[in-house]
Structure 1
């Protein structure tokens, strides 16, 4: 390899002597004559390794470029030659923190926050992790930043956490919101280097490792030692994790092969293979229907897991003193009451069920859900049920925190209007 090039960023590797530097400079001059493009001295630096001070000064004087120092950034990633420290990952943490601080000023729903975590923040983590290994401590910090952002936790100010983060990271079919778990994803990314050694022995990196690290030994017998680099020790640990997970080298090879469609390692497939799968939940198709908004689905997930902060839960935690339903103002509030048996909610449920042409003869959560699941629901029916759940919960919060009340008939009108706009655009 002689160079790395991407867009207008170019890294050229040269032997550290004057004749080699002059040869590359001549090539750059010829490139200038043919294309009209030349290196900008103010944006070009030379980085030295193992070069004597005299030769270094001579090269700088000849080229007119300045001397740079490691680490430097290339395509947003730090390049360094010394042993890796956690401080080298601070730019990643700073970038994630800046994103979160910017979003904190916006009025985002929980679903909106999970979408940002799973796209933007995970994208940053994935970009770094694809090129450099992330220490476990850094992965834990990223996870904590994501958790605090989703639940709205500031330093010194703790808010109600609705459900465990591991459950929120579960696939939608298993009752979660499909957020990628940083630590497990980092393991899957690191295992790619194990796969390269086993399935791509002729690539440059694999040949280098076989020659200078393994020195003819078998990968399965390699152990992590203090004398080896942190990078290599992490690769060995992922190999050990793979062996523990599968039980033998033969089974490990079969697993890696199954995660390599068309001879390409799939991080997603290995991530899914590593994680502990839970039973699929029957209500996933209802909560995450094609016509449902993410913010409706998020409230639906909390409802199905019985983790919405109803007043009975807040009283049990000592956060409020009186348990009274804010919708009917005459009975105590719990999950079943506020959505189905409350006089206000019953009128909304009846109105929406009639509009969706669905017969609901119960006020129990499981029986109502089962009534919907027993039918082959259309997009309108799926979207209508989840919109009803969302708007009832929103009405409850509006009454408590804003003092705004809406009649059941008007709430039904809002739900119908929302579903029509969502599905038909009018």
Structure 2
């Protein structure tokens, strides 16, 4: 992605007033007075120049011309009207229909008396004609053309790498449980396990069987019910015992969790005796060690009682809080955990 940002910066140098050696050389030997939008990719070009040409369509989204005398702005390729690139708006046959050559600048579509283009032969061409009646003809302007770098956040006369990166970066909707998974002070392995569990992507036996694998579906911890995410972590008698031992002092619900949404709702809760940060740490530790014990039973046939799992979780919680005791939000967590 940053490679694209860098290439777009070089593309911008060709439109700006930059006098850098790279910009001057490429304007003289590669552009040779032509519009960048009209050049073709060729094997005789350098790899860098061809790569830059491939990004022109993306660059059109950012390079915005400000029409002055029309000597530099391409009539068909530059987005100097609200319709964007006119060759895309009107189609490939438009240069012949409007009698404006494909490589013309805006000033070449004018005469000493005004705009010099053929009568419209389509609704879109009519829209263009209507728009041209609302702006002054470049023939009567002495101001040179200029360009600005236009991103969604601002329009400015120089390249902005930060805003360009923000526009190029693919975005996804913010997940509602993201603040319960990724937070300052979390244990990375526990957060990752929580993230995969929240996405319901852990390879439980029910999930493996749904893929067509010939595996038993009984829960590895209790062997009584199908091993789904909700059962393994919340409804299993073994897991329920571990939860009861770990969160007995953290305002547990009257009825132990039965669905994943109930668990997330409890974690998001906050109270003086059981702050949300402590609930996040405890819940992630419990889920991690329940999954680890499940794998221990499945692969190593080692069964530990719930009390042993509690002691492991308790030690991990104490170590975590102690290691972060200098942080503001961890100052009184030890007393609340050991209460």
TM bin, normalised by shorter chain, reads 0.5 to 0.7
Out of 246, 249, 263, the residue aligned to residue 368 of structure 1 is 263
> What does residue range 193-272 of structure 1 map to in structure 2 within 5 Å?
193-199=10-16, 201-243=18-60, 249=79, 253-255=149-151, 265-266=161-162, 269-272=163-166
* Distance change (3 Å), C-alpha of 1:244 and 1:412: same
> In the TM superposition, what is the alpha-carbon distance from 1:192 to its structure 2 partner?
3.2
Deviation readout 1:254-291 (Å, 9 max, x if unpaired) = 1298599x96634xx53442233221011111111212
* Distance change (3 Å), C-alpha of 1:343 and 1:245: farther
Residue 321 of structure 1 is matched in structure 2 by 215
Residue 74 of structure 1 is matched in structure 2 by none
Alpha carbons 2:220, 2:298 under 8 Å: kept: yes
Alpha carbons 1:292, 1:387 under 8 Å: kept: no
SS at 1:290 equivalent: coil
SS at 1:217 equivalent: coil
Give the Cα separation in 2 of the matches to 1:369 and 1:281. Answer: 13
Give the Cα separation in 1 of the matches to 2:47 and 2:261. Answer: 51
Out of 289, 300, 304, the residue aligned to residue 391 of structure 1 is 289
> In the TM superposition, what is the alpha-carbon distance from 1:398 to its structure 2 partner?
1.0
> In the TM superposition, what is the alpha-carbon distance from 1:358 to its structure 2 partner?
4.3
Stretches of structure 1 that go unaligned for 5 or more consecutive residues are 1-183
Alpha carbons 2:11, 2:59 under 8 Å: kept: no
> In the TM superposition, what is the alpha-carbon distance from 1:194 to its structure 2 partner?
2.1
> In the TM superposition, what is the alpha-carbon distance from 1:203 to its structure 2 partner?
1.9
- Number of residues of Structure 1 aligned to a counterpart in Structure 2: 241
SS at 1:235 equivalent: helix
Output the TM-score relative to the length of structure 2. Answer: 0.62
> What does residue range 301-316 of structure 1 map to in structure 2 within 5 Å?
301-316=195-210
* Distance change (3 Å), C-alpha of 1:189 and 1:311: farther
2:308 is the counterpart of 1:410: yes
> In the TM superposition, what is the alpha-carbon distance from 1:326 to its structure 2 partner?
0.7
Deviation readout 1:54-87 (Å, 9 max, x if unpaired) = xxxxxxxxxxxxxxxxxxxxxxxxxxxxxxxxxx
Alpha carbons 1:312, 1:332 under 8 Å: kept: yes
> What does residue range 95-244 of structure 1 map to in structure 2 within 5 Å?
184-199=1-16, 201-243=18-60
SS at 1:253 equivalent: strand
> What does residue range 1-150 of structure 1 map to in structure 2 within 5 Å?
none
Bigger Cα displacement from structure 2, 406-415 vs 221-230: 221-230
Give the Cα separation in 1 of the matches to 2:244 and 2:209. Answer: 30
2:277 is the counterpart of 1:379: yes
> In the TM superposition, what is the alpha-carbon distance from 1:308 to its structure 2 partner?
0.8
> In the TM superposition, what is the alpha-carbon distance from 1:368 to its structure 2 partner?
1.2
> In the TM superposition, what is the alpha-carbon distance from 1:328 to its structure 2 partner?
0.9
Output the TM-score relative to the length of structure 1. Answer: 0.50
Give the Cα separation in 2 of the matches to 1:246 and 1:397. Answer: 55
Deviation readout 1:193-245 (Å, 9 max, x if unpaired) = 22443457222211221121112334444443343222111112223123368
Alpha carbons 1:360, 1:368 under 8 Å: kept: no
Residue 182 of structure 2 is matched in structure 1 by 288
Structure 1 stretches of at least 4 aligned residues deviating more than 6 Å after TM superposition:
245-248
SS at 2:304 equivalent: coil
Residue 31 of structure 1 is matched in structure 2 by none
Task: Name whichever structure is richer in helix by fraction.
Answer: 1
SS at 2:151 equivalent: helix
Deviation readout 1:14-33 (Å, 9 max, x if unpaired) = xxxxxxxxxxxxxxxxxxxx
> In the TM superposition, what is the alpha-carbon distance from 1:313 to its structure 2 partner?
1.2
Give the Cα separation in 1 of the matches to 2:222 and 2:187. Answer: 27
Give the Cα separation in 2 of the matches to 1:259 and 1:417. Answer: 55
Alpha carbons 1:195, 1:256 under 8 Å: kept: no
Which structure has the larger Rg?
2
Higher RCO, 1 or 2 (CA under 8 Å, sep at least 6)?
2
Residue 111 of structure 1 is matched in structure 2 by none
Stretches of structure 2 that go unaligned for 5 or more consecutive residues are 65-77, 85-147, 326-339
Give the Cα separation in 2 of the matches to 1:199 and 1:246. Answer: 10
Residue 165 of structure 1 is matched in structure 2 by none
Residue 55 of structure 1 is matched in structure 2 by none
